Amino acid sequence: MDVQTKLRLKESVGITIDAETQRVEFFKSNTRESIIININFPDIINLLKLFNGERTIPEIVKSYQNISENQLFDIAKYLKGESILIEQDCLYTESIVLKNRRLINNLEDYFHSTSKVLQAVENIKTASVMIIGLGAVGSYIAVYLAKMGVSNLILVDNDEVDPTNIHRQYFFEDQINCNKAEVLKEELQFINSDIQITIISKHLESDFFETTLLPYHISLIINCADEPNVDTTSRIIAKYAMKRKIPHIVGGGYNLHLTLIGQTVIPYQTACFQCFNKALNNINQKDLNGVKVLHRENRKLGSFAPLSNIAATLAALDAFKVIIKRYDLLQQANKRIEFNMRNFEFDSFEIVRNDCCEWCGK
């Protein structure tokens, strides 16, 4: 940043002034954060209004005789660093703003310049996300991504809509006995007319990635397949994704009164599937020592839609951060997280990347 940088006060920021103490509070409405500073400058509101993205610091100083260019530069640099001001190095077109106003407003909290915001909008539009398993978690993740503006989805599922799906999945009674991927495609096209959807009507078998023709570029894979179990499907996906350095997310889901929030993996930057597997095996060996499994035929646990949607929502939020490449803000990397509906608490513990891991170790 230099004095010729054109800065703008973000639309999501509110300002209040305490006249007695000369304290100025900047309230960031998107993140519910406040920044309070002491500025002995009575006309601070009008001064800040001049940061409209059209004036440089020397041009703003001309309107005031009692503040120096260096002083204003220091203030502006600090406010930019605190995400109060944003560098307007390019303009948003009217068509982009009309279609993405709320998205842009949100993205301005993630970046310090309008050009970076526009690049993030483009990343969202051009990202290609594969969702494997279109059940209670996967079907809603697809909906959230479509609403977000992701225009390329690869849907993997070979199931048909069953009456028992209706209470927790994004399907409806008139779609019973129809292919899940096909009917979900129609729903997503109503949400986002620009969306391009590839359907792969297969179950995730061990040789899936060797026997399936896939698009050349995949930005992110989200696993929501639980047959025969999530550990098995996650291992298959993780092996493929690690070799190709594709970020991947375990979609999580419902388990008795708990919701598992699956981990997000950035290959060779965060703990991988094998890091988690080893750490969790050590924990389970202690917790389940001597426990015997009671076998029952046709054992089917109940499911509860709001809990499944918690997992879907949080996976979609981390997917958003992966797509815009803000890996530093991921909530589910290097963590094992569960939400307990009985006490309404998130329980988590850290699982760090293992330097000796045979998958991702140094």
> Could you tell me the pLDDT band of residue 344, with boundaries at 50, 70 and 90?
confident
**Residue 197, pLDDT score:** 96
**Residue 293, pLDDT score:** 64
| 301 pLDDT higher than 70 | no
* 265 DSSP β-pair partners: 248
Question: Where are the CATH 3.40.50.720 domain residues in the chain?
Answer: 127-350
SS3 340: strand
| 243 pLDDT higher than 90 | yes
Average pLDDT over residues 97-125: 94
The percentage of residues in the chain with a pLDDT greater than 90, rounded to a whole number, is 64
The pTM for the full model equals 0.90
Residue that wins the pLDDT comparison between 261 and 319 = 319
**Residue 351, pLDDT score:** 93
Average pLDDT over residues 323-333: 96
Its sign, for the CA torsion 192, 195, 201, 204, is negative
Architecture of domain 7-87: Alpha-Beta Complex (3.90)
Among the CATH numbers 1.10.760.10, 3.40.50.720, 3.40.50.1980, 3.10.20.600, which is that of 127-350?
3.40.50.720
Is the peptide bond preceding residue 228 cis, with omega within 30 degrees of 0? yes
User: What separation in angstroms does the CA of 187 have from each of 135, 159, 195, 207, 259?
Assistant: 15, 17, 11, 30, 26
Q: Which two tokens stand for residue 149?
A: 């503006």
Question: Where are the CATH 3.90.930.60 domain residues in the chain?
Answer: 7-87
